[in-house]
A and B are shown apart, each in its own frame.
Chain A
């Protein structure tokens, strides 16, 4: 399953990249993807840790950790919003 991942705002700075294409070996959900990313260690483990305020959108809709992922999905990770 191939995913397009986006890291926005402070997360892009903390993780050192704004996007990547990622191949997940098996079907999964957002929590599977988070676990895969955390295993990279360093800022990935720190920034995406369970207690951190990280929001997730799948195909530009807000999603929870149980949201199923499909081939070609766009998954965005970002901090709580601060516009207005």
Chain B
């Protein structure tokens, strides 16, 4: 159930291959990659800085993955989140999940991402033409995470 917080980039293909290993029970891999956009809230973003709370961040990510494993029949989970200076088109985060069947893999991957967005202590600071600004939390992210509280294993439509 690896969780990594790192400044360097990651190779999603190599990470997923390592996660699968040679396990013949794996019938499905679902993964998500988050990428830095060049526009946010209507402003051009030239670069951003990601801060975290060392120790607590890793523990929260571990807890989110453990909760996913409690809800679905998963084989492995992986979360890699970058911190430090990033630019548009850079990869920020990788979530990958293996299971025997696709339904569980899809759902668990989305769940981990929704909980990461609202619970894991990371903060983004953007550089825009108007100067530096800390990104404000979005209500829509709270709504996405809240869907999973109503249902154990499926977000309502």
Listed in ascending order, the chain A residues whose CB lies under 8 Å from chain B are 6, 8-10, 13, 53, 57, 60-61, 76, 78-84
Secondary structure at the A interface, as helix, strand, loop or mixed, is: loop
User: What residues of A have a CB within 8 angstroms of the CB of B52 in the complex?
Assistant: 83
Question: A residues within 8 A CB of B51?
Answer: 8-9
**Smallest Cβ distance from A74 to chain B, in angstroms?**
9
Interface set of B (CB-CB < 8 Å, partner A):
34, 50-53, 55-56, 59, 81, 92-93, 113, 116-125, 134-137
Indicate whether A83 sits within 8 Å of B53 (C-beta atoms), given known contacts A9-B125, A9-B134, A13-B134: no
Asked whether B53 lies within 8 Å of A76 as measured between CB atoms, the reply is yes
With A81-B123, A82-B123, A83-B81 known as contacts, the answer to whether A8 contacts B53 (CB < 8 A) is: yes
Q: Give the distance in Å from the alpha carbon of A6 to the alpha carbon of B123 in the complex.
A: 15
A10-B123, A79-B134, A79-B137 known; A84 vs B56 contact (CB < 8 Å):
no
In the assembled complex, which residues on chain A have CB atoms less than 8 Å from the CB atom of B50? 83
In the bound complex, how far is the Cα of B136 from the Cα of A78, in angstroms? 12
Q: Which residues of B contact A81 (CB under 8 A)?
A: 117-123, 137
